[in-house]
Structure 1
Amino acid sequence: MAKFTEEDSALLDELGIEVEIAKAGSRTPREERIIAGFEEVQRFVEEHGQAPRHGEGLDIFERLYAVRLDRMRDLDECRALLEGLDHQGLLAGHGLGSAAAEDDLDDDALLAALGVEEEQADISELRHVRSSAEKRAAEEIANRERCEDFDQFKPLFEKTKKELEQGVRVSRVIRKDAGFLKTDIRAGEFFILGGQTLYIAEVGDPIKAPNGETDARLRVIYSNGTESNILLRSLQRAIYKDETSRRISEPTAGPLFSDQAEETDLASGTVYVLRSKSDHPTVSANRTILHKIGVTGGKIQRRIANAKLDATFLMADVEIVATYELFNISRIKLENLIHRIFEPARLDIEIKDRFGHPIVPREWFLVPLFAIDEAVQKIKDGKISGFRYDPHTAAFIQVSEQKT
């Protein structure tokens, strides 16, 4: 650093300028992590125009950021450290009861949101927050601009979100040990990075990078209406560094229901269809079309071993009439999807359990087996969202054909 001469100092005095020597400051690693975590919340606010909120129907990453912000608001140490950086006024007020609002998040999810090391008792000890080097590597991702033709892409994001909810698409964690390559990033694909969905709109012509490797310029569209033109290798690096990054599958990627799995498929469970042997009058009168539809990650035989003691199985033995192996899909989402499809045909019956308590089973439907087969096929083909089930005709009707 250059030193001022006496002449320089005299000139500055005449101009009325005071020279303040900056003091070299240092922060502890913990303080650096707290600041970096707060900057991530600030980045979310800049991208979405609002502070992260709690709520079951909101994006999981927004809810996790909301938990982190509440903790920072509640801790005096964090407030004292961050007040000078809080140009958005995020620290105003107090925590909003996130512990109660986020009871549905398990401990690991909450710890990941806060970046808390499991062996640390101090909740202000944050982890999973990017280092300065990682933040510099991600600057290209952050340099975005408004997407002028976002209206063309918005329906794609909405359709993909709906297909994820229905189980037609799945999001898969990107495993570093599996070897995620630049060639795995192709035009038309969706990824989740930093809690935000992105779409690869264009992949430019190959170019030679300074290190001799091949690279390409991408046009990436983000779900918040922004876009960036970044290098393929930069996106690959950012995806690797984000431990929560995920790839969103194509609707027809891999067998959804199959008797055989391919080498790269991850087993998820089994859809089972059961028929009751109960002598209940309602069951007896509808036995051929009354089916229980469920999804399990274990063996079906073990699941039904004590059926006659379980009101869920109508307090009677059952027989297996159909099974479908499923791969690369959320069991819970799939089961919810199937139950929503056949909701109009759900059986309304009350059964008393072995203690005499009334139980209303929720997984029995008055649906013929061929209709279940058709529903499975439409889910597999990604077409189920365009149909509804009509219990009167036992058929699927296109939504566009419904009378208004």
Structure 2
Amino acid sequence: MSDDLDALADDLAEFDVAQKPVQRSALEERIIAGFEDIQRFVEKEGHPPRHGAEHDIFERLYAVRLGRLAGHAEYAELLGPIDHQRLLAGAVVADDQDDEEVDLDALASDLKDLEDEASDITELRHVRPAAEKRAAEEIANRDRCEDFDKFKPLFKQAQSDLDAGLRTTRPPETSAEIEAGRFYILSGQKAYVAEVGKPFKQDYGDWDARLRVVFDNGTESNLLMRSLHRAMSKDKSSRTISDPTAGPLFTDMTVEGDEASGIIYVLRSKSDLPIVAQNRDLLHKIGVTGGSVQKRIANAKLDPTFLMADVEVVTTYELYNINRVKLENLLHRIFEAARLDIEIMDRFGHPVTPREWFLVPLFAIDEAVERIRDGSIKGVAYDPETASLK
């Protein structure tokens, strides 16, 4: 018999009509969202919201809203199916609703005034909520960063990347994008997330984590991820600083529609300076030009950037559809640790410090170019001790 009933059920299932989802207006959705906030309060506190000056201002606010909802029969049809706690039946109806009609538009507008960006009605227009106060206190509560020396070069490099266009700034998005190793701008200061602790769940159900944030003025703060995000959301001038990028990738091969952008050139000096003669095979000038390399080096012996000497072209890489300035800055940043520190006199006797010469083997330059090409250059820099990219 049981098998027959199962077979019948299967047959009938073929003729079931799928229930269409209920289409609600944005106004109704906001009313329901506001009621669900009250329900969450009841679940957390164990009792309906109450009136009275001795209670928290947000509890009293919820009590007023609940009374308004309960005072109008037309809302029962909208909220009744989700009122599993029977809050509407036990609510205290405000006296001002007996003779005055409050429509759905007015109530939704009232609730909207109290919504924050997460559609949560726990924030008054002129009252700072406890969460915001805690966030401000955490941001303001900073200690001296004892090991700031190891972070100072990072801030310097980040600013250099911004100046060169290798990094950009954008408005903050969500707390999920806050990661270790990222830079942010808060209250006019650069902030570096040095460490992210183990994630944990807050009492209200959201995930959070404890951060170690170092600021460019030599202070640090041990604050929550959501506190940092909340502070950035309140600060209209706050920004997220992007990771360094070389811009569009380039290739050795052209395809139809490509526009030539320039050439990376690697040069070797013929100077008789002792430091050059001793490192002739290791010392290279790395540059980018939009014209002919031969024209660029034609007057090398008169140009202090070429060490006031003739040069020979070691190798070149042709570029397509790429920002030459950004690429040159990126290459120089990669090999910064191997930059030649030298000062020479120009033909007028003025001291000049050339900035494009690096004590780096050719194979390392080849690898850097290849990494830029395949997109794996992020976070890579040349290590002089091992003569390799790391």
TM-score (norm 1): 0.38
TM-score (norm 2): 0.39
Higher CA-based Rg: 2
